[in-house]
A and B are shown apart, each in its own frame.
Chain A
Amino acid sequence: MMNVEHHFPFQKKFNRLVIGFTTLLSVIFIASLMLGIIPIGLDELFHYFSSSDTSIHFTISLRFQREIIALCCGGMLALGSAIIQGLTRNPMVAPDLTGMTSVGCLFVVVCEMIWIKSPVLNLFLGVAGAFLGFLLCFSLTSRIRNRLTVILTGISISFTANAIMQLFILHAKEDIANYLHFITGSLYAVNGISVWIVFVITLMIVPLVFMLGRRFSVVSLDDQTCYSLGVPLQKYWITYFFLASLLVGTSIIGVGHLGFLGIISPNMARMLIGNRPQYIFPLSFLIGGFTYLLADTIGRCIISPAEIPAGIITNMMSAPVFLYILFRYYRGQHEWN
């Protein structure tokens, strides 16, 4: 008889964590449906389908769209970041710190400015931008062994891309507000089609990544071990890297450029459960989605009717966490084996 406890000692802890985070997530989801400029009671929420009040219908559906996209995009960004961290075996790498998100945003904004606006094309451009940004960063630092130098290069790339984007936005003829969320990561201008795209892709890709998570564990070993085990490392790299770009690129069309969220979620998951990809992937998805949803709710409610973009709130929340992670990194306490 096989003892599950013995073979998977962390399964139980993982289950508890997942249940805890899911509960938290659903609580904040419902709370955020209720809060806002028009407060909605719990009973109205439950009688959504039977009630005939159109204004409440409208409000709830708007908020619902917004929260779905916050959840999906925050989660996908964190998941993509977890994949990249595993691939590069570098706990300090994140989509926003390697120029992925900002190059993607740049592509999307430039295309919308000078050509056409279509959410599907935006998706492709976002993915391509994420791909190219990562390639650029890593080709510039291919000979550099230091893990933090990679991020510095990435940061300078993302500052460049941001500056170009801001120049473009300043010269926009009309509706600057539509593009501002690419800088600050706000959910203000979410529209129906992009919600659908993001949602469908989340449903397609995220379970796939979760399923592949167990195989991913082998990539976090070093190269030589992988080769001697007969793992086709090249194939793994290409597959996972493509998946990561897809995740990050999709999150771009929803939320734009988000700072620091990508780096803290996988690291927090790692602090909770150690470096085990099959557990880290779902956990970082949950943590990312939860953080972003919380930030969006706070930003929406704290000074309503005006709103603070969620990206700013996540920045404020996660910059200290980033310092803490850096602290652990220098103490050699990062759980990387």
Chain B
Amino acid sequence: MLLFAIGNLKYGVTHFNGYDLLSAFFHTDLSLVSHITLIEVRLPMVLMAIIAGASLAISGLLLQRVTQNPLACPSLSGVEYGTACCVILCYMFIPHVSKLGIMCISLMGGLFTYLLTQAIVKKIGATTTGITLIGIAFDALYFSLIQAILLAFPYQAQSILYDLNGSLQGITFNDIGLVALPFVVLFIVVLLLGKRLDLLNLDELQASALGVSIKPYRLIMLAVSIILATLVTSLIGPLLFFSLVVPHLVRSLTSSRYIILFCAIYGAALLLMAQLLTYLVSPLTPPPVGLVMLLIAAPMLTIIIRRHLPYDER
């Protein structure tokens, strides 16, 4: 992860060597152009990538464990696009809203979407694949809604258009400050509660037989998962499939004891790697990192489906 972080700092429109990096951090001098680029532009981006990668990975892991569904992830239950849609609606209709306000509103939007999809799932009585399909239908609905809004109000739309694919461009220290505190708090909560993660494999009956009350634990984990996902999405836009893939990657690599920590680290590393890739592909006009992520993650979805759902006839 560190390696990728340094790589991200180094490569870009202008390349820096190691000496520049060291001098920028230890003898910060804001009159030098290179130092300003590094500190003000690159560093927030890297920090944001770490936070976003870690929190999305944790969110995916928790959601998969809580719902016992190997394909659960915030983007496949409509949460991420719901959040993005709320963000854009806020920008459109409440012109002078602060970022904090947007984050709160989009949090509500994400939670609402999740509850809505879950209600539909309950009503339909869908199984794993059905749940995912419902999520995808919601994604498509929100996506087209966003596109329609953007096309209907083209003048306000220019600045937000780039957010749609999940991009780390234009992140400042203010954004980091907003997201860092909740992230750290939630991260610690998850780490503290994480020892009991295996409890989620039990159902109600087994849990009550063991004398643990599993319902509040499940609810807390679910809430934390959704909140983490919406927080990140409201700042950088939806990263499709990212939080689905990372836990599956990590599961094949480590044992379950420290899986949350590993998930966070791998998630951050993967996102940083994708970001680095975007700069290596085209330094001047980097494609949105969400696109590169999609390119990596969508084929892996096929593999995951093949591995986890061989004969799941309803």
Instruction: Write the residues of chain A forming the contact surface with B, with a CB cutoff of 8 angstroms.
Output: 140, 143-146, 148-149, 151-153, 155-157, 159-160, 162-164, 166-167, 170-171, 184, 259-260, 303, 306-309, 311-313, 315-316, 319-320, 322-323, 326-327, 329-331
- The yes or no answer to B141 lying at the interface (CB within 8 A) is yes
A144-B311, A160-B299, A166-B291 given; A259·B129 CB < 8 A: no
| Alpha-carbon gap, A267 to B200, bound state (A) | 39
Do the beta carbons of A308 and B287 come within 8 Å of each other?
Answer: no
A326 partner, pick from B71, B133, B301, beta carbons under 8 A: B133
Given contacts A149-B129, A153-B306, 10 further A-B contacts (CB under 8 A): A144-B309, A149-B312, A159-B240, A163-B291, A163-B292, A171-B287, A259-B144, A308-B147, A316-B148, A320-B141
Total A-B Cβ pairs within 8 A: 129
Number of interface residues of B (CB under 8 A): 46
| Alpha-carbon gap, A260 to B143, bound state (A) | 13
Give every chain A residue within 8 A of B144 (Cβ-Cβ): 259, 311-313, 315-316, 319
| Alpha-carbon gap, A311 to B138, bound state (A) | 16
Do the beta carbons of B287 and A167 come within 8 Å of each other?
Answer: yes
- The yes or no answer to B18 lying at the interface (CB within 8 A) is no
A140-B306, A163-B298, A315-B144 given; A152·B311 CB < 8 A: no
Cβ < 8 Å to A, chain B residues 145-187: 145, 147-148, 151-152, 154, 165
Give every chain B residue within 8 A of A326 (Cβ-Cβ): 124, 126, 130, 133-134, 137
| Alpha-carbon gap, A146 to B132, bound state (A) | 14
Do the beta carbons of B282 and A171 come within 8 Å of each other?
Answer: yes
Do the beta carbons of A303 and B151 come within 8 Å of each other?
Answer: yes
Give every chain B residue within 8 A of A162 (Cβ-Cβ): 294
The 8 A-B pairs at the shortest CB distance, nearest first, are namely: A148-B129, A315-B144, A156-B301, A319-B141, A159-B298, A160-B298, A163-B294, A312-B144
| Alpha-carbon gap, A149 to B303, bound state (A) | 12
- The yes or no answer to B125 lying at the interface (CB within 8 A) is yes
Expressed in whole angstroms, the minimum distance between the Cβ of A171 and any Cβ of chain B is 7
| Alpha-carbon gap, A320 to B298, bound state (A) | 24
| Alpha-carbon gap, A144 to B306, bound state (A) | 8
Give every chain A residue within 8 A of B140 (Cβ-Cβ): 259-260, 315, 319
Do the beta carbons of A153 and B305 come within 8 Å of each other?
Answer: yes
| Alpha-carbon gap, A126 to B299, bound state (A) | 22
Do the beta carbons of B302 and A148 come within 8 Å of each other?
Answer: no
| Alpha-carbon gap, A311 to B263, bound state (A) | 37
Expressed in whole angstroms, the minimum distance between the Cβ of B135 and any Cβ of chain A is 11
| Alpha-carbon gap, A156 to B71, bound state (A) | 12
Do the beta carbons of A149 and B309 come within 8 Å of each other?
Answer: yes
Expressed in whole angstroms, the minimum distance between the Cβ of B148 and any Cβ of chain A is 5
- The yes or no answer to B219 lying at the interface (CB within 8 A) is no
A146-B311, A319-B140 given; A306·B295 CB < 8 A: no
Give every chain A residue within 8 A of B148 (Cβ-Cβ): 308, 312-313, 316
Chain B residue with Cβ nearest A164: B295
Expressed in whole angstroms, the minimum distance between the Cβ of A287 and any Cβ of chain B is 19
Expressed in whole angstroms, the minimum distance between the Cβ of B219 and any Cβ of chain A is 26
Q: Could you list 8 A-B pairs, sorted by A, with CB under 8 Å?
A: A149-B312, A159-B294, A163-B295, A167-B291, A259-B144, A308-B147, A312-B147, A330-B126
Give every chain B residue within 8 A of A315 (Cβ-Cβ): 140-141, 143-144
Do the beta carbons of B306 and A322 come within 8 Å of each other?
Answer: no
| Alpha-carbon gap, A303 to B151, bound state (A) | 9
A144-B309, A326-B130 given; A319·B138 CB < 8 A: yes
Give every chain B residue within 8 A of A323 (Cβ-Cβ): 120, 124, 134, 137
A145 partner, pick from B126, B141, B145, B313, beta carbons under 8 A: B313
| Alpha-carbon gap, A147 to B309, bound state (A) | 11
Chain A residue with Cβ nearest B136: A155
Chain B residue with Cβ nearest A156: B301
The main secondary structure of chain B at its interface with chain A is helix
| Alpha-carbon gap, A303 to B155, bound state (A) | 14
Do the beta carbons of B241 and A308 come within 8 Å of each other?
Answer: no
Instruction: Write the residues of chain B forming the contact surface with A, with a CB cutoff of 8 angstroms.
Output: 71, 120, 123-126, 129-130, 132-134, 136-138, 140-141, 143-145, 147-148, 151-152, 154, 165, 240-241, 282, 285, 287, 291-292, 294-295, 298-299, 301-302, 305-306, 309-314
| Alpha-carbon gap, A309 to B146, bound state (A) | 12
Give every chain A residue within 8 A of B71 (Cβ-Cβ): 152
Give every chain B residue within 8 A of A330 (Cβ-Cβ): 124-126, 130, 314
Do the beta carbons of A146 and B129 come within 8 Å of each other?
Answer: yes
Chain B residue with Cβ nearest A259: B140
Give every chain A residue within 8 A of B152 (Cβ-Cβ): 303, 306, 308
Expressed in whole angstroms, the minimum distance between the Cβ of B117 and any Cβ of chain A is 10
Chain A residue with Cβ nearest B290: A163
| Alpha-carbon gap, A167 to B144, bound state (A) | 20
A167 partner, pick from B132, B145, B295, B306, beta carbons under 8 A: B295
Expressed in whole angstroms, the minimum distance between the Cβ of A12 and any Cβ of chain B is 34
Give every chain B residue within 8 A of A322 (Cβ-Cβ): 137
Do the beta carbons of B129 and A316 come within 8 Å of each other?
Answer: no
Give every chain A residue within 8 A of B305 (Cβ-Cβ): 149, 152-153, 156
| Alpha-carbon gap, A143 to B129, bound state (A) | 16
B298 partner, pick from A156, A260, A308, A331, beta carbons under 8 A: A156
Chain B residue with Cβ nearest A137: B302
Chain B residue with Cβ nearest A92: B133
| Alpha-carbon gap, A201 to B133, bound state (A) | 33
Give every chain A residue within 8 A of B287 (Cβ-Cβ): 166-167, 170-171
Do the beta carbons of A146 and B312 come within 8 Å of each other?
Answer: yes
Do the beta carbons of A140 and B294 come within 8 Å of each other?
Answer: no
Give every chain A residue within 8 A of B311 (Cβ-Cβ): 144-146
Chain B residue with Cβ nearest A155: B136
Expressed in whole angstroms, the minimum distance between the Cβ of B286 and any Cβ of chain A is 10
Give every chain B residue within 8 A of A155 (Cβ-Cβ): 136
Give every chain B residue within 8 A of A153 (Cβ-Cβ): 302, 305-306
Chain A residue with Cβ nearest B138: A319
Expressed in whole angstroms, the minimum distance between the Cβ of A243 and any Cβ of chain B is 27
Chain A residue with Cβ nearest B312: A146
